[in-house]
Structure 1
Amino acid sequence: MRTLVPLLALIPLLSACSSHDGDTNQSSSQNNSNVTMTSPHSGNLSDGAALTGGDFARNENALRFIDYMVDKHHYDRSQLEYWISHAKRLDSVISLMDRQAPTPSSRPSGPTGAWLRYRKQFITPDNIKNGVAFWQQHATALDRAYQLYGVPPEIIVGIIGVETRWGRVLGKTRLLDALATLSFDYPRRSEYFSRELETFLLMARDEHVDAHELRGSFAGAMGYCQFMPSSYKSFAVDFNHDGHINLWDPEDAIGSVAHYFQANGWTPGDAIAIRGNGQALGLKYGFENRYPVQALTAAGLKPTKSLGTHTEASVLRLDVGTNYEYWYGLSNFYTITRYNKSVHYSMAVWQLGDAVKHAVEESNTSTRVASNY
């Protein structure tokens, strides 16, 4: 089988991952009209259901999943049984997922510097330097993605930088182990992760790769851009035209991120967020809530520059320690939140990408000046 990532065993722990694990209702691209089961966890076990060993040998969810894949996708049963019998149940994955579960928390009464602490994880001199190197190495692909999808290089670079430090932190968990554990032994999200495992195994079959070899995040996110399998299915593209879609290839990842943003409503050339003066008293903060500009003005917030044709915006509040910054969140900012539903994440993507852009421009200027002597 073709190997996408022969060196992934050497990759360090993932430190930043947006799992893109929102539920999806998308159906498989290989639907069969004779399907008898509607879910990987539904239906009766067939007489042929069996696993010869491994951590999931007696797991009925795993056995039903195999029947489902054979019924719906005509997947080779012996191949599935081999892969799943060699998959490992990872207690560490369940523990990490439990930490992601929402828990009640009391909000502090005043600013504590939460945004500054988050920001400094990503926007550092070394990280910007590495981002410049990535941009310069892949400038042609970034420019082509901009021309094709309308998404500027700094946004693509920002996403890949926050997600994987431009390929330096891709994750070391075997994806089959992670997805099998969450599909078969994590009831809280089993339906969702069973669909992700389904799509992951279809990808392995279509791309002729060994499902045991692929590594990524503990939640199943893959490659430079940390797509979940469902995002791979919907948005990943063969951007280097080699006949394969490989998210561990930076060029395919660049094109796939750009395609994701285009499909989620990115408006080429439009602003992302505008700094505000004052504050919006009585209004809810966050990208989920949008208000007419007149309502924001009446609440005490004014933009520091023109909002262009925008007639409504969300109010973004960033805790900078001594006080709060207030921003008008526009439609392109909302599009960034489709990648990860966090104001901090989306602002870090934008500001990191912008910092790298300015550093690239300074480097290009210095190179042109030096060439004149």
Structure 2
Amino acid sequence: MTPPATPKPAADALLPKVPQPPERPVAPTSVTDPAIPLAQRIDAFVDYTVNTYQADPAVVRATLAQAQHQQKIVDAMSRPAEAVRPWRDYRPIFLNPARIEGGRAFYAANREALDRVAAQTGVPAEYIVAIIGVETSYGKISGNYRVLDALYTLAFGYPKRAPFFAGELAQLFALAKQEPQLDILALKGSYAGAMGMGQFMPSSYRLWGKDGDGDGQRDLLTHLPDVFASIANYFVVHGWQRDAPVVARASRDAGAADFKPESLDPVYPLAALAARGYRPQAGQPTAEGATLLSLDGDAGKEYWLGYRNFYVITRYNRSPMYALSVHQLAQAIRDGGTAEAL
């Protein structure tokens, strides 16, 4: 007779994942399979966009006819900074005196509007500012690629992620129906097709963009009330908790085995992580559940516990180094400290 399985210790029981909105739709294989001739894929894209978003087929075709494939976009997509740099080299891109001082000045200039959004949503103003700082250096660098070209190139010339980007290209036409003040042919953004001060993809713009001042439009390119409200709403929709911590520095017990969680979901109780030899350092905040980050810092390995709000920041950009940069920049903007003190 087989002995009964030993019950898992309570500390090893995983917590529920943070509830998320439905996944954004992606384009079908008929649009994205590189084995299908391009003209046929474009026909399938027109049909998909018309059937999904009730776009005008003549407008879609005429617009696509003006799109241009840009090989440099494919090249840039293949070498993102977070994929090729360790934390010790990635961090100084965003944690430097110019970015910190720029954030403090931007916050000071827009304090009333930022604090109002923070009070309404529970997303601290410094995190809204930090997102804008990391994404566009406070609106100075929002991208010089035509959004149409970027999404067209990645939809039809980057098979690895074609379903997502073809889906975003279709959403661009849907967005233009909702926000007719946007000129698809003139929109500029990043090499990935993200737009405005907060770098929203078309689907994010459509689904989570907010009219922050009630003027009947959502202008996420340069209109600050809409930008602030939309970034905060993005966080709220993805599970931000008011007054909850983001991360904690962690210590590793001598002899503890390496541990790399399968995802960034904060599903590990602190007791479970402590049983593995990882725990918050003295004086650091705690929360119900966390994930573990192991990063190569200036002085060697750094260990961090990422809580629910950290996970929410990674929904903006899936890189944990990105999220930690946003957090540390926000702290420096709020506290007036230096990058070295974080």
Shorter-chain TM-score bucket reads 0.7 to 0.9
Report the residue type matching 2:50 in the other structure: V
- Secondary structure of the residue that 2:243 maps to in structure 1? coil
Counterpart of 1:239 in structure 2 is: 212
Letter in 1 for 2:239: G
Structure 2 letter corresponding to 1:189? R
Structure 2 counterparts to residues 264-275 of structure 1, below 5 A: 264-275=238-249
Q: 1:202-249 CA distances to partner (integer Å, 9 max, x unpaired)?
A: 112221122110010111111111111121122111112221111112
Distance in 2 separating the partners of 1:186 and 1:317: 31
Q: Which amino acid aligns with 2:274?
A: T
Structure-1 separation of matches of 2:323 and 2:277: 25
The answer to whether the 8 Å contact 2:131/2:198 transfers is: yes
Q: Distance in 2 between matches of 1:303 and 1:198?
A: 45
Equivalents in 1 of 2:50, 2:29: separation in Å?
A: 11
RMSD over aligned CA atoms reads 3.0
CA 1:73–1:296: 2 relative to 1, 3 Å: closer
Q: How far apart are residue 307 of structure 1 and its match?
A: 6.7
Letter in 1 for 2:189: G
2:184 is the counterpart of 1:207:
no
Query: Shift of residue 140 of structure 1?
Result: 2.0
Q: Does 1:164 align with 2:144?
A: no
Higher helix share: 2
Shift of 1:180: 1.4
Which string of whole-angstrom CA distances, capped at 9 and with x for unpartnered residues, describes residues 91-111 of structure 1? Answer: 2122223335999x9xxxxxx
Of the three residues 240, 260, 263, the one matched with 1:285 is 260
Structure 1 counterpart of 2:16: none
Who is 1:19 aligned against?
none
- Partner residue in 1 for 2:11: none
**Structure 2: distance between partners of 1:220 and 1:177:** 8
1:134 equivalent to 2:114? Answer no
Report what 1:152 is aligned to. 124
Aligned to 1:345: 322
* Superposed CA offset, 1:145-195 (max 9, x none): 112211001111111111111111100000011111222333332222121
Partner in structure 2 of residue 184 of structure 1? 156
Count residues in correspondence.
Answer: 307
* Counterpart secondary structure, 2:304: strand
d(CA) in 1 for partners of 2:80, 2:300: 28
1:99 paired to 2:79: yes
The residue number in structure 2 matching 1:86 is: 66
Against the structure 1 CA distance between its residues 148 and 61, is the aligned structure 2 distance closer, same or farther, given a 3 Å change threshold?
same
Q: Return the offset for 1:39.
A: 4.0
- Which residue is 1:45 aligned to? none
Matched with 1:314 is 291
Q: Secondary structure at the residue paired with 1:41?
A: helix
Task: Could you tell me which runs of 5 or more consecutive residues in structure 1 were left unpaired when the two chains were aligned.
Answer: 1-22, 29-37, 43-56, 106-112, 361-373
TM-score (norm 1): 0.74
Corresponding residue SS for 2:79:
helix
Structure 1 Cα separation of the partners of residues 82 and 289 of structure 2 = 30
Paired position in structure 2 for 1:33: none
Identity of matched residues, %: 36
Q: Given the two structures, how large is their TM-score scaled by the length of structure 2?
A: 0.80
Offset from partner CA, 1:292-340 (integer Å, 9 cap, x none): 3223333333423467773432222232233222222221112111111
Pairing 1:218–2:191 present: yes
Please tell me the residue identity of whatever aligns with 1:228: M
Report what 2:30 is aligned to: 41
- The aligned counterpart of 2:233 is 259
SS in 2 for 1:319: strand
Alignment-mate amino acid for residue 96 of structure 1? A
Letter in 2 for 1:275: R
Distance change (3 Å), C-alpha of 1:72 and 1:332: closer
Partners of 2:101 and 2:82 in 1: CA distance: 35
Amino acid at match of 2:197: Y
Shift in Å at residue 72 of structure 1? 4.2
Q: 2:224 aligns with which of 244, 250, 269?
A: 250
Q: Is the Cα–Cα contact under 8 Å of residues 59 and 184 in structure 1 kept in the other structure?
A: no
TM-fit CA distance, 1:262: 0.8
Distance of aligned partners of 1:133 and 1:82 in 2 relative to their CA distance in 1, 3 Å threshold: same
Match in the other structure for 1:120: 92
**CA shift in 2, pair 1:39/1:132, >3 Å:** same
List per-residue Cα deviations over 1:246-278 (Å, max 9, x = no partner).
111232111111001111111111111122233
Q: What residue identity is the alignment partner of 1:217?
A: S
Instruction: Name the CA shift for 1:26/1:76 in 2 (closer, same or farther; >3 Å).
Output: same
TM alignment of 1:322-333, pairs within 5 A: 322-333=299-310
* Shift in Å, 1:27: 5.6
Residue in structure 2 matched with residue 64 of structure 1 by the alignment: 44
Contact 1:274 1:305 in 2 (8 A): no
Q: Which runs of 5+ in 2 are unaligned?
A: 1-20, 32-36, 338-342
